[in-house]
Amino acid sequence: MFTQVAIATENAAPQVEAARRSLPRDVLLQYHDDNGTVQTAKSIAQWQRRRDEVIAAMQSVMGTLPVEDAPREAPSYQVIEEVDCGSYVRRQITYQSEPHCETPAYLCIPKTRLSGNTRGPAALCLHPTDNQIGHGVVVGLGGKANRQYAMELAERGFVTLSPSYPLLANYQPDLHAGGWQSGTLKAVWDNLRGIDLLQSLPCVDGQQIAAIGHSLGGHNSVYTAVFDQRIKAVVSSCGLDSYLDYCEGNPAKWLPEQGWTQTRYIPRLREYRGRLEEIPFDFHEMIAALAPRAVMIIAPTGDSNFRADSVDRIATAARPVYQLYGKADQLQVRHPNCGHDFPDEMRELAYHFLETSLRNQENKKSID
């Protein structure tokens, strides 16, 4: 049975001093040993100590994920509408992400998998910022062009689940009442529960789960995959750069309810205004924390939201961790010549990357 423990909120206890960075964001093989001495990781087990520090640092700012007193059951869900989309069916659903909270989502299932006799890959398709139709944009129901990746992956044989992001469009959960310190962590939790749902479906191979997203969905995919290693492959389009580089460090972007500090993102990041170098985690660490899983970061040269050269620095910092696993080729970066977009060529490349990565995962499982 799923039980959510109470999560401390900012109003439930005195404000604590913001956590500070303890190790360099770009020297990721450094870690603290049992005595607190800085060492250099030469094994995966030693790197895991640094990874544990990354997870703790994230939760020191985002809030703490719920702890269950027993293994989680798959969430119950309700089908509101089913539409025949040719090669697949699209179900508009809500699923119980936590007590008294129903998360809206679209579940797309290829018709060849409807019987449940054949299991195959699934993708968590996380939508970009859209305050009109929200998650509808990724299943082709409107909004900006080049965002319909849940629809296109379903046409390619993936089961896709596209949850709505908190505090956008028709999904307005009460974060304070739920004890959430950030919309980001609430979204991560909704996504984890979404994966629980996917793994319960007879048409899904629970070992072949991917995450893909553009912009908001791009960093949502990374955050979620850091916390959930059931995700075996990640594509992030226009979703990230270093916090140091975001909007060139403009202090106005770190005021309350601006940029990353909005309620639906990570409000406590406002505490680092004027001292961004002290933020205790960054995308350097989070991308490294995904190793050795397959990751593709698409960073257009003309993106006005996130800097392509910052992405290169992040990948350079994370690559030694991938090399430690002997999987340097699992981390890929692409720089299309466009703005903040997910054009046809890049989506096609992303889909092939996910298919190949999950197929390799399946082959590895067969060999093992």
pLDDT tens figures, 171-195? 999 999 999 999 999 999 999 999 9
Report which residue type is found at 38.
V
For residue 53, being part of any structural domain is answered with: no
Contacts (Cβ under 8 Å, ≥6 apart) of 14: none
For residue 36, being part of any structural domain is answered with: no
Q: In this structure, are strands 30-32 and 38-40 parallel, antiparallel, or unpaired?
A: antiparallel
Contact 112, 171 (CB under 8 A): no
pLDDT at 364: 61
**DSSP helix/strand/coil, 46:** helix
For residue 40, being part of any structural domain is answered with: no
Report which residue type is found at 340.
H
For residue 45, being part of any structural domain is answered with: no
For residue 69, being part of any structural domain is answered with: no
Other Cβ atoms closer than 10 A to 256: 11
For residue 319, being part of any structural domain is answered with: yes
Q: In this structure, are strands 331-334 and 38-40 parallel, antiparallel, or unpaired?
A: unpaired
Contact 288, 327 (CB under 8 A): no
Q: Which of 67, 60, 64, 66 is nearest to 16 (CA)?
A: 60
Other Cβ atoms closer than 10 A to 235: 32
Q: What crossing angle do the helices spanning 183-200 and 44-62 adopt, rounded to 10°?
A: 120
Give first-to-last CA distance, the chain, whole Å.
32
Backbone angles phi, psi at 82, to 5 degrees: -125, 130
pLDDT in tens, 4-31: 333 333 333 334 467 889 999 999 999 9
Rounded CA separation 250/269 (Å): 14
For the chain, the domain total comes to 1
Rounded CA separation 338/320 (Å): 29
For residue 209, being part of any structural domain is answered with: yes
For residue 267, being part of any structural domain is answered with: yes
pLDDT in tens, 257-307: 999 999 999 999 999 999 999 999 999 999 999 999 999 999 999 999 999
pLDDT in tens, 47-72: 999 999 999 999 999 999 988 766 88
Residue 203 sits in a domain whose CATH number is 3.40.50.1820
Q: Is the dihedral of CA 166, 171, 200, 366 positive or negative?
A: negative
DSSP string, 48-92: HHHHHHHHHHHHHHH------SSPPPPPPEEEEEEEE-SSEEEEE
Domain range for 107 is: 77-364
Q: Can you give the pTM of this predicted structure?
A: 0.93
Would you give the DSSP letter of residue 42?
-
